[in-house]
Every structure is written in structure tokens, then in C-alpha cells.
Amino acid sequence: MSLRYSHQDLFRSLRALEEATFPKVCRNCGHRYEDAAEFLAATRQVRPDHTGLKEGIDEDGAAIVEVFRNCACGSTLLETFSDRRDQSPGGLRRRQRFGEMLDKLVADGVEFARARDELLKLMRGQPHDLIGLIRSTKAGPDG
């Protein structure tokens, strides 16, 4: 199964290595980005044909992603993010179970993005509509 994620999905799966790096200020124009979410939303891709993402390894050997974005003034900014995934045995089991649940929902006719979003809400303790999704797939297209 081939999965395609938008840039926003990818950015949501990352977190700042150091919360202390924010606020981030453009040295060219002085624009201030209060947090990673604002930085990603208020800046643009450096080039339309390139994501601006560069894989790397930090000093501790952990995987990082360098994100190159353009400020509104045109200056290129860099922020470093790390993968927030829990690599412990429990974290691996949770990801496996998440994938299994996602596959089942998609096999039952739920759109991939909707199923993923609702499962993430469940995991974060947010209001979700998984019961409604499950009921609607059991009822079939005619309700």
C-alpha cells in the first residue's frame, strides 16, 4: 500500500528539537515566529519543485529533518525538527496497532485521511467520530 502525505501532514508529524529556538526572528526583516506552527504556516517553500526538507543526523545520532522555508521578505530560514515517534517496544506496538486499525477502516470504505484523523484524535484524547465512521461503514451506502 502506497501512502501519500501532504507537506502539512509531514510537518504535523515533527516537533521542534528545542522549544527554546522559538520565537524565531528573521535576521533580514525582523519578522517574529512565535512557535513551529506559525513558522510553518507563515513561511513559504523555497522552491515550488522542492519540499525544503533535508534529512540528517544530530550529534547524538538521532534522525532530524532540516526545514528550509522562505520568510515573506524572501530570506531563507532554517529550522531543525526531530521525529517524535516513540521507538520503545510499546511505541512500536502502538504504531502497529494504529496501522492495523487504519487498514481496517479504509478496507471498510472510510477515506484514508478521515480515518487517520479520527484515530489520531482518539489517541490524543480529543473528541472523535470513530463510532459514527464504524456505524456508517456497517450500514452500507444506503444507510
The answer to whether position 142 is within a domain reads no
Same domain, 38 and 22: yes
Task: Note down pLDDT in tens along the chain; length 143 residues.
Answer: 334 444 444 444 444 333 446 788 999 999 999 887 788 889 998 988 888 888 777 776 666 788 899 999 999 998 887 665 666 677 678 778 888 888 888 888 888 888 888 887 777 677 878 777 777 766 555 54
Q: Tell me the three cell numbers of residue 50.
A: 522542492
The answer to whether position 105 is within a domain reads yes
* Euclidean distance between CA atoms 22 and 50, whole angstroms: 25
The one-character DSSP state at 45 is E
Please state the domain count of the chain. Answer: 2
Q: What is the pLDDT of residue 83?
A: 61
Same domain, 20 and 52: yes
Q: What is the pLDDT of residue 57?
A: 75
Q: What is the pLDDT of residue 7?
A: 46
- For residue 32, give its domain range: 7-83
The answer to whether position 1 is within a domain reads no
Taking a C-beta distance cutoff of 8 angstroms, is the pair 52, 69 a contact? yes
